[in-house]
Chains A and B, each alone.
Chain A
Amino acid sequence: MADWSELEEALADYKQRCNSNQRLRRMQRDWSRVLHFVCSDNGIIFTMTVDKGEITDITQGHNGIADIIVETDSETFCDMFWGDLNPVQKYLRGEIIVKGSQEDIMRLDAISSIIWPD
């Protein structure tokens, strides 16, 4: 089980990679969303705010009304934000649960595929 400090470190790296990737910023320039994350094993919850493709804020707890809710265990979140796993495989096996429009799910995965291309 990963604790909040591990998640915070992974999220900081993820945020830096996303915001500094020009191709991703261009692609997501019309995408502004509030994402809620839920760790199913240890109950840690956090919020990511995206404004026109830029991750502006990551905080512990749930703030605002979620456009997308992502739930999985903390270890999977850590690996995902470090780019050490392919989230689509986990999602298609039902190990990552996402509530949101199919367009937003697609956009969320697009981030991983751009900043960590295969």
Chain B
Amino acid sequence: MGLRTVTSTSAGLAFAAIEYLAVAGLVIYVAGSTGWIAIAVAGLLAVLVWGFYGELNGMYPTAAAIRLYMSKAMDDRAALSITFTYMTTIVLVIAADAVIVGSAIGYLLGQSGWAVGVIIFAILLGTVLSNLFGLRLAGGVQDIATYSVLAATVAITAYGLAHHGVNLPNLIAPLAHKSPFDFVQAVAYGVFLYAAFEWVTASAEEVLDIGLIPKGMFLAILALFATCSLIAIDMPLYLNKAQLYSAIPQLYLGANIAGYVGLVLMVVVTAVTAINTFNGGFITASRFMYAAAREGNLPRMFSRLNTRAVPYVPVIGLATASFIIAILVVLTNSWQTIVALGAALEGMIYSVAGLCVVRLRKKLPEQKRPFRLIGAKVLGWLGVIIFAFLALAAATSVKGKTDFVPLALLLGLGILSTLYVLLLLPKIKARQQARYEQKERRRPVRKEG
């Protein structure tokens, strides 16, 4: 894996179809076209995250990534509870992308309501079948897909900006008629725009030069900043409130900028981002569940493989959970709630990453760190506090209004994960231990002398 692929993987993991909804959610909290300022501030915070993951990945260059960092830094039960809570982000993003792609296709075909549900079902069924048959996108295809999506988005938004023009005050005064807390909310959404760029650290074993990972992540941050800033500048210029709150703001943006051509372009872009999400998201989540089952942290059935070495129980389970969530989202029009919840989960895990850096500096001061974060003690704690605060901010507001539903969902997920780890997991581990104890040791005893 070279720098080009590391960068596209990092940016591609972050730039799901839900990205457009996240930008739409962000611009509601700022004045005019100043969303780019919140995205820039969030980008600086993403650089802080880059520092955290750069150091942690250098210490433990493995696909186990955040799971391993946390287990080394804290009590394993706490690490597992946080990991299981965080992994629901993948299910949410898959569900949200299914809604967005289904809605986009439905809009193009002039369909809505139950037809969108059927399209969502077809999308998820197609994803499940391709996963079960072991079909994979070639790395080169993923590169082309990610760079094409970013380039097409930049092209159409840059054209829109050049065509419309924008007043300077509209670009540089985020707090006009808005409060500082609104700006904080915007930054919280901004952090979500970069979310998952750090998942490329799980590909550490696929690069020959571990230094490419931090380089690629940094370039991905720059690419995401540029792309999302242009979207954030254009959306207030071209979209009304109803379009901003819809499941497909990017389609309205494309149509309002460049007519039918723009609409079709954004439908294609949406579909391509979703391919990346479904391909990468299902694989990542199913392998995580397979590894967790092999480790003894999930029931054994999650480690069963089909004839193509695919863990089919996680794949089917993920698709089912995503479909249920997707239908609930469609019925309740709550995609912005999903965005807020996703932003809160990402804020939470970034806060935990900062904590891991601080604790491992104390626990393992002599461990080799190929990438060393300067000022880790101060920056680590700063990150813990800032991201925890942003997570709370994201979890308590939706569409510009106070709303505790994301917080309730976050706490609910955390409580369920903790109950599983504390009550069910000991029984699963005890059964696994009993199985191991019953197994006869096969390795012959070495004769001395």
Say yes or no for B241: interface residue by CB 8 A criterion. Answer: no
Q: Which of B205, B283, B307 contacts A98 (CB 8 A)?
A: B205
Q: Contacts A86-B295, A113-B294 given: A105-B68 contact, CB under 8 Å?
A: no
- Are A86 and B308 closer than 8 Å at their CB atoms? no
Q: Which of B64, B309, B432, B444 contacts A106 (CB 8 A)?
A: B309
Residues of A in contact (CB 8 Å), total 36
Q: Which of B62, B67, B72, B296 contacts A89 (CB 8 A)?
A: B296
Q: Contacts A27-B305, A102-B287, A113-B305 given: A86-B441 contact, CB under 8 Å?
A: no
The dominant DSSP class at the A interface is helix
Say yes or no for B303: interface residue by CB 8 A criterion. Answer: yes
- Residues of A participating in the B interface, judged by any CB pair closer than 8 Å: 6, 9-10, 13, 23, 26-28, 31, 78-79, 82-84, 86, 88-89, 91-94, 97-103, 105-107, 109-110, 113-114, 118
10 contacts between A and B (CB under 8 A): A13-B442, A82-B441, A82-B443, A84-B441, A86-B436, A93-B68, A94-B62, A94-B72, A102-B205, A113-B303
Q: Which residues of B406-449 have CB atoms within 8 Å of chain A's CB atoms?
A: 432, 435-436, 441-444, 446
- Are A118 and B71 closer than 8 Å at their CB atoms? no
CA distance A55 to B295 in the complex (A): 26
- Are A102 and B309 closer than 8 Å at their CB atoms? no
- Are B205 and A105 closer than 8 Å at their CB atoms? yes
Chain A residues lying within 8 Å of B206, measured Cβ to Cβ, are 99-102
The contact string, 1 if C-beta is below 8 Å from chain A, for chain B 34-46, is 0000000000000
Residue of B with least CB distance to A96: B62
- Are B63 and A105 closer than 8 Å at their CB atoms? yes
Chain A residues lying within 8 Å of B208, measured Cβ to Cβ, are 99
Q: Interface size for chain B: under 10, 10 to 19, 20 to 34, or 35 or more residues?
A: 35 or more
- Are A83 and B309 closer than 8 Å at their CB atoms? no
- Are A78 and B443 closer than 8 Å at their CB atoms? yes
CA distance A99 to B62 in the complex (A): 8
Chain A residues lying within 8 Å of B308, measured Cβ to Cβ, are 27
CA distance A83 to B442 in the complex (A): 7
Q: Which residues of B58-89 have CB atoms within 8 Å of chain A's CB atoms?
A: 60, 62-64, 67-68, 71-72
Chain B residues lying within 8 Å of A28, measured Cβ to Cβ, are 309
- Are B63 and A88 closer than 8 Å at their CB atoms? no
CA distance A103 to B62 in the complex (A): 14
Say yes or no for B164: interface residue by CB 8 A criterion. Answer: no
- Looking at the assembled complex, report how far the CB atom of A99 sits from the nearest CB atom of chain B, in whole angstroms: 5
